[in-house]
Amino acid sequence: MNDILYVKAQESGERIDALLARSIENLTRSQAQRLLESGLVTVDGAPVKKNRKTAPGELYRVEIPEAAETELVAQDIALDIVYEDGDVIVVNKPRGMVVHPAPGHPDGTLVNALMFHCGDSLSGIGGEKRPGIVHRIDRDTSGLIIAAKNDPAHLALSEQLSDHSLARVYECVVHGRMREDAGTVDAPIARHPSDRKRMAVVPGGRRAVTHWEVIARYNGWTHLRCRLETGRTHQIRVHMAHIGHPLLGDEVYGKSPEKGLTGQCLHARELKFVHPRTLESIHLTTELPEYFTQVLERLGPPEG
């Protein structure tokens, strides 16, 4: 059965394919054009051409066919493994790699690589498309991510994620010079009320807390260390933009690409958790990746 939803044009003059891509989560403009070409977008019962310009108050009926099921395949993709045993595996994910298959990214993901490396030894709790995945990081965010090899390990790590004992520390570069040496952003996050592809600080959203401290200041920029107390979607990116210091390179919550960087300058550098079987405290760190160090070099010498 197809999903049917309605999209209302608020302003006139916008192309319908652009409106659909902006309004429907995980829908690209090319996918919107295919829906239009297939006659699955109508207004007053009539199919809409892909170059149509919207008018105020128009209500578009959009039929989204059910996604064809694709079988997950193991792919021989190199992994930078930081820690591994019979229960967990921790990988230093490169920027640009998607964590699990999604529309537009059916393969080439971390899950495909883990399936090849681990064989059948991955927890099934994450679901068919997310075997072993306990938490996720964005495609253009690099750094440490943990996966579970069995269900008991997955449950234990998920509990640590819920009670905030699974500690994650990131480093990032933000616009502007932070005045204070450290601080906390405690602001609720939910879907943006008018742009469903983005998150935003929204009253009544889920509580989100980010602790930050300055590592170094540059001329117009600040290098930060951020510790997540909660783990909402895009949390650091949304919180830093909320306080007026969006991440360098963040085209969604910040400004246009800068310093030769496409995508946000954000690296998951530290991960601390209690091993689900031995109850040993595991603390892992990774070096800053080359793209990040090159950004710091381009910023010039830090302030004294």
On whether both 128 and 248 belong to a single domain, the answer is no
Per residue in 249-286, pLDDT tens? 998 898 765 666 778 999 999 999 999 999 999 999 99
DSSP assignment of 84-138:
E-SSEEEEEEPTT--SS-BTTBSSSSHHHHHHHHHTT-S-STT-TTSTTBSS---
The pLDDT, as a whole number, for residue 71 is 72
- pLDDT for residue 5: 53
Asked if residue 181 and residue 54 are part of one domain, the reply reads: no
Q: What share of the chain is helix, strand, coil (3-state, %, to 5)?
A: 20, 30, 50
Residue 69 clears pLDDT 50, i.e. is over it = no
Could you tell me which residues come within 8 angstroms of residue 114 by beta carbon, excluding any fewer than 6 positions away? 79, 89, 91, 122, 131, 132, 147
Domain carrying residue 15: 3-64
% of the chain exceeding 90 in pLDDT: 58
pTM (2 decimals)? 0.77
Q: Are 140 and 176 found together in one domain?
A: no
Between 91 and 4, the more confident residue is: 91
Ranges 2-6, 20-24, 257-261: which has the least confidence: 2-6
CATH number of the CATH domain containing 51: 3.10.290.10
Catalytic position from the list 87, 138, 140, 250: 138
Same domain, yes or no: 215 and 291: yes
Q: Is the pLDDT of residue 70 over 90?
A: no
151 annotated active-site: no
What is the predicted pLDDT for the residue at 131?
Answer: 87
